[in-house]
Amino acid sequence: MHATVSECDEELGSAAIDLFSAALGIGNAIQEMCKAMVNKNKEDLCAILGLYSLQNIALISRSKQRNILSACGSVVLKHSRFLTFCEFTYSGLLTGNSVTVAIDKLSKEEDVDLADCFSYAMDGAILSVVWTCMYDDMSEYAGEEFELALKEVQDNHMKKWEAINMLKYVLSSISYPWIIKSHSINLLLTLADGNHIEEINSHVDFTSYAPHIFATLKAIENVVMAAPEALMRKKAFAALKKVISMVPSSQRFDILHALINNSMSPSLTGILLDLVREEVLRESRRADKDCVESDGLQAPGELPYWASHALDLVEQIMKPPEGGPPCLPDHSEQVLSALNLLRLILIIDSRESGLGKLFREETLRKVHSEWLIPLRPIVAIVQSENEKDDSEIGNQMVCSLNPVQLVLYRCIELVEEKMKGR
């Protein structure tokens, strides 16, 4: 089946559908055997049937031809009925717990190779939920049980994180078509719509979730950057922001920092830096509010925890680790975002507030002499060269560099004003 899905084109679509349908016959045979058994033997065989159905759902979902996916809705529905028979719940499928329980039953010494046969079972678990959302007959079959399971997961922060992290199996893989990924993003947005107030998250040991959440965010990034349709990219970006907002504020900058460090795209780096800027603004406003409520009491020289994160990120862009100044115009998006972030920090630092000062004198000199001033002639030279080029590409370069130049000059002004006031 895996080979057929990988090589299947439109002409062989009917053969693939026939193969998927034939696999149901094996499922029916296993189900009949389950009915004839009792106790542990029945439990083990039901676990096999459930994992077999999930493996089938995952393989069907890899079909790149829309006509095959459309024709296989009834096949997936029958596999869902096997899952119900095997007592796989929608809550367990959303979180992956049903798969874990089934594999544990088969992971005895004599059955260790058997469990390895179902390598796509986790994919199949979350995909069975995606199919329930995208296929009307499955949604009707699931009925109220599915809605209750969805609400249960939304209202439990641990289960919600487990369910959201399950979606990385689909979103990070190149094997699933965009239509499946689009519905997966819809499901992610639905899951993230539940309650996730800071007080709920604050007592959870987030470090145990962090690696999985990072992998999930990287998977969502892939959709943001590679999806063929603008609407899907927009939905994926909304999902990215939503999941990041669910991370406890004390860990949010760490996650964003890690994502930026692992970004290979200047455009994506710019997007992530803009999210950092939004977080800085949000945390600054919160600090102002807390300062007012505490009658301006704050430890002398105390800096907000985001300050070092934000300045480190700006330095990373303005002084790349590989050496030299930023590469313009290729990296103009991330340079503009870094400059906008720096400008915001400078403005926050200039306000009359209870915040500790973010810039020591040596830091200001460094920002001025090492980050900003070296960039000024580079921007001017590249700008001048592209203004002479009357081509469409040259005009695009000029348009992309204009805002960089404006924000750069404003940052220089703000820094020089601060230096004069010292």
pLDDT, one tens digit per residue, over 150-168 is 999 999 989 999 999 999 9
Q: Is 355 left (phi over 0), alpha (psi -120 to 50) or beta?
A: beta
State residue 285's pLDDT score.
83
State residue 90's pLDDT score.
97
Number of domains in the chain: 1
**pLDDT single digits (tens) 60-119:** 999 888 888 888 899 999 999 999 999 999 999 999 999 999 999 888 756 667 778 899
Token duo for residue 49: 């049937």
In a domain, 33, yes or no: no
In a domain, 387, yes or no: yes
Residue 411 identity: C
State residue 198's pLDDT score.
47
In a domain, 318, yes or no: yes
State residue 62's pLDDT score.
92
Token duo for residue 418: 């601060």
In a domain, 346, yes or no: yes
In a domain, 186, yes or no: no
State residue 208's pLDDT score.
77
**Separation CA 335–CA 332 (nearest Å):** 5
**Separation CA 308–CA 274 (nearest Å):** 17
State residue 112's pLDDT score.
62
- Host domain of residue 398: 248-422
Burial 146-165 (b: 16+ CB within 10 A, else e): beebbebbbebbebbbbbbb
State residue 354's pLDDT score.
46
State residue 114's pLDDT score.
78
List of the chain residues with pLDDT < 50: 197-203, 300, 354-356
In a domain, 102, yes or no: no
In a domain, 371, yes or no: yes
In a domain, 290, yes or no: yes
Tell whether omega for the bond before 326 is within 30 degrees of 0, i.e. cis: no
Token duo for residue 347: 């403005």
**Separation CA 408–CA 336 (nearest Å):** 8
State residue 205's pLDDT score.
64
